[in-house]
Structure 1
Amino acid sequence: MKPEKPKQLFLIGIFLAILLAEGVTHTTMDLMKNQRPVAADLFLQVPSQENLRNYEENLEEGSWLVQNLRPVMQVLRFAVLGDLGKKAVAGREGWLFYDLGIQYLTERSQPVRPGESTPDEVVEAIVSFRDRLAERGIHLLVVPAPGKASVYPEMLTARALNLDHPVNVRTLQLLEQLENEAIELVNLFDLYQSEKNKDSISGPNNLYLIQDTHWSPKGMEMAAEKVANRLQELGWVEKGNTDYGLKEVPLSRHGDVIRMTQIPGIDDWYEPETIQASQVVRKESGEIYADDPHSEILVLGDSFLRIYEHDEPGSGGFVAHLARDLGKPLTSIINDGGASTLVRQELYRKPEMLA
């Protein structure tokens, strides 16, 4: 047994050196930059789960070793194991999904963390927003954009083929709560499921992009048409007389899920997705669609409204197609990932948009 002890001590020493190397390197780099070492945060903050989590994230993001070794390890893990990292999941037939969207569907409900809202609080906020708008004679129509994995779970895993129940139960419960509060909404989940029942084969009629988190031009155009019809059914909007046409624009692009991986050179591993978008133009002049700040209709949204509208081809997204279906220009506030908060904050700073 004695000959084994030096070997064990040597291995323990190597292991401890590896553990200490990161801390020593990080502290040295901080001091060389005349910055306070990140490790000092452990002693300057009250110990809590949130502070420890933030410390761990800051340590990882600011680590010199991590920043220099991560790209190499990402490429190796992807090339050998097909691992796309924390934010992306590879599905079937080349489909890519956003990890958080899958977690929302598959994980059990967790205790609400500080700063997060419960479903009841979400409903209360929407009801309050609706009521405050109603005081000014303004109607509110809520249009939740389905997550890609909730529409195409079978492209994530073959185990979801021929499911006889929805996978987005919590979202459907939230929609039911909103309906019970007399919130007017458009249920795109039902619309897309009905369309999928007509054409269940993955192909050019997909409602979502294969490499992206967002809807395809077809899925977006269906949503715009549904919303336009609902606005007119409610009697809130009359059809306008602006005659818009469509200009077909072919696009070739890598999706946002690929960019999320941050794997160096990953674009070379995936062919860009080819899609056919439609730019909205005025028939009489050929001018591309543009918002009218004085429009009676204000559209608020996130990146689902940005795609094709502010991105290529431009004036070819949800807002432009909704304007075409209604025969009149609209006005909009769009903010990536900030539709629930940042958009309303911008609206608060621009009260003239509700005049």
Structure 2
Amino acid sequence: MPSLRQYTSLLLLPTTFFGYALYANSALLMNAASPEAQASEAKDLSLSYVIDGEATRDLDTLYKNELPHRAASVGLFGNARYALLGAGRKGVIVGEDGWFFSAEEFKNVSRADIDAAVDRIADVQRDLDARGIRLVLAPLPAKSDIYSEEVPSLVRGPAMAETYNAFAAALKDKGIVTADTRQALLAAKPFGEVFLKSDTHWSPSGAKATAEAVQTSLQVAGIALPSESVTAQWQTPVSLWGDLTKFVTSPDYAPTVGLTQESVPIYRTTVNAAAEGADIFGDDTAVPVMLVGTSYSANENWSFADFLRQSLRADVVNVAKEGLGPGVPMMDLLAGVALDETTPTVVVWEFPIRYLGTKTLWQRDGDAKAGGGNV
């Protein structure tokens, strides 16, 4: 005959589960019934609201955003999944020795997608040529390519290396000046990590190697820039959680499974105004180099614009944008007035190849127009 302890054990788990469910849903109902919630989330509770699925979406959002202890649950479950299975949520590939990779870097890009992108880039070059501006493209290889040895063997493959080589070759066939960033990153790799382990982005070492590759491509193409005096210095490193960590667990719980923040040294450069040969008529808006691209350039933590300034010995104006991929910032630049106001000699376009083949490469998400864009 079962003992009292056995009865207690059998009843404890379901009682705890249903008790928490009652508490959590009561909290949700109380929050939803508050005057503030009703004022901000007033809904037409019609039959179509349910049939069209809007009610289900709203309920799902409510549970995701308002469920008590959600953050703790996400962190603890993520820790357990990472510790026991060595895996994260959809969107991340967990590699060896704490290396994380974006799932976007494990795809096959068709030749048609490559050719379509190169044709569009050639159109951009013609537009810039008409303005008397030279284009230099810096295609960025995938982190999963540069650190393929850290990728799990089940998903390891040559797809992204082949995509980079095909893209770079097609660009050169169109006469577009192209920096060989892949070889530069591979050459710099033995001297320090060129990508951050838990982030999609490069390290300052990777940014520096890429800037030097851009400078080499200008030399080979015979593009000369007036040499300027540049002052540079390292600043105090910043600590940050890699953007791929959130696909594994929450930052509050990450240290308990051995995950740590990235320490990123900051590099800053300034052009010596006295050595610039400033226009005596007061026209000081002209900057020889304009940088356009993605968060690899826009985020100042990576110091790419500063390394570019030092490598080229020229001032650089940075118009890159975060969260839009490589195509949209260039389309915005061509449609705006910055080129006319700044009159650069060269535009450096930083272009991660993992965006090739995406439907929103040249237009913002949800924008039906063919000309503007986002990734």
CA pair 276-63 structure 1, distance change in 2 beyond 3 A? closer
1:245 aligns with 2:245: no
User: Under a length normalisation based on structure 1, what TM-score does the superposition of the two structures give?
Assistant: 0.69
- Secondary structure of the residue that 1:97 maps to in structure 2? strand
Q: Cα distance, 1:99 vs. partner?
A: 2.4
Paired with 1:85 and 1:325, the residues of 2 have a C-alpha distance of 39
Q: Cα distance, 1:221 vs. partner?
A: 0.6
Paired with 1:38 and 1:320, the residues of 2 have a C-alpha distance of 57
Q: Cα distance, 1:133 vs. partner?
A: 1.1
Q: Give yes or no for contact 2:105–2:160 (8 Å, CA) kept in 1.
A: no
Q: Cα distance, 1:156 vs. partner?
A: 2.1
CA pair 39-133 structure 1, distance change in 2 beyond 3 A? farther
Paired with 1:348 and 1:92, the residues of 2 have a C-alpha distance of 44
2:8 maps to none
Unaligned regions of 5+ residues in structure 2, if any?
Answer: 1-20, 275-283, 344-375
Unaligned regions of 5+ residues in structure 1, if any?
Answer: 1-17, 45-51, 111-116, 286-291
Q: Cα distance, 1:121 vs. partner?
A: 2.2
Q: Give yes or no for contact 2:285–2:342 (8 Å, CA) kept in 1.
A: no
The one-letter code of the counterpart of 2:95 is G
1:305 maps to 297
Q: Cα distance, 1:259 vs. partner?
A: 4.1
User: Under a length normalisation based on structure 2, what TM-score does the superposition of the two structures give?
Assistant: 0.65
The one-letter code of the counterpart of 1:186 is A
Deviates more, 1:265-274 or 1:137-146: 265-274
After TM superposition, list the pairs within 5 Å mapping 1:8-23 onto structure 2: none
1:89 maps to 93
1:341 maps to 328
Q: Cα distance, 1:79 vs. partner?
A: 2.4
Q: Give yes or no for contact 1:232–1:238 (8 Å, CA) kept in 2.
A: no
Q: Percent identity?
A: 18
The one-letter code of the counterpart of 2:321 is N
The one-letter code of the counterpart of 2:161 is N
Q: Cα distance, 1:152 vs. partner?
A: 0.6
Q: Cα distance, 1:321 vs. partner?
A: 1.4
1:279 aligns with 2:268: yes
After TM superposition, list the pairs within 5 Å mapping 1:143-222 onto structure 2: 143-157=138-152, 167-196=160-189, 199=190, 205-222=192-209
- Residue by residue over 1:171-229, the C-alpha shift from the partner in whole angstroms, topping out at 9 and shown as x without a partner, is 32222222222221112112223444xx2xxxx71111112111111111111111122
The one-letter code of the counterpart of 1:223 is T
Q: Give yes or no for contact 1:141–1:185 (8 Å, CA) kept in 2.
A: yes
Q: Give yes or no for contact 2:267–2:306 (8 Å, CA) kept in 1.
A: no
1:35 aligns with 2:43: yes
Q: Give yes or no for contact 1:209–1:216 (8 Å, CA) kept in 2.
A: yes
Paired with 1:205 and 1:267, the residues of 2 have a C-alpha distance of 24
Q: Give yes or no for contact 2:141–2:161 (8 Å, CA) kept in 1.
A: no
Q: Cα distance, 1:267 vs. partner?
A: 4.5
Paired with 1:41 and 1:130, the residues of 2 have a C-alpha distance of 49
Paired with 2:228 and 2:59, the residues of 1 have a C-alpha distance of 54
The one-letter code of the counterpart of 1:294 is A
- Secondary structure of the residue that 1:222 maps to in structure 2? helix
Q: Give yes or no for contact 2:136–2:178 (8 Å, CA) kept in 1.
A: yes
- Secondary structure of the residue that 1:280 maps to in structure 2? strand
Paired with 2:311 and 2:59, the residues of 1 have a C-alpha distance of 47
2:133 maps to 138
Paired with 1:62 and 1:216, the residues of 2 have a C-alpha distance of 37
Q: Give yes or no for contact 1:300–1:334 (8 Å, CA) kept in 2.
A: yes
Paired with 2:208 and 2:99, the residues of 1 have a C-alpha distance of 21
- Secondary structure of the residue that 1:209 maps to in structure 2? coil
1:263 maps to 250
The one-letter code of the counterpart of 1:278 is Y
The one-letter code of the counterpart of 1:81 is R
- Secondary structure of the residue that 1:80 maps to in structure 2? helix
Q: Cα distance, 1:304 vs. partner?
A: 0.6
Q: Give yes or no for contact 2:237–2:266 (8 Å, CA) kept in 1.
A: yes
- Secondary structure of the residue that 2:322 maps to in structure 1? coil
Paired with 1:323 and 1:174, the residues of 2 have a C-alpha distance of 26
Q: What value does the CA root-mean-square deviation take over the aligned residues?
A: 3.7
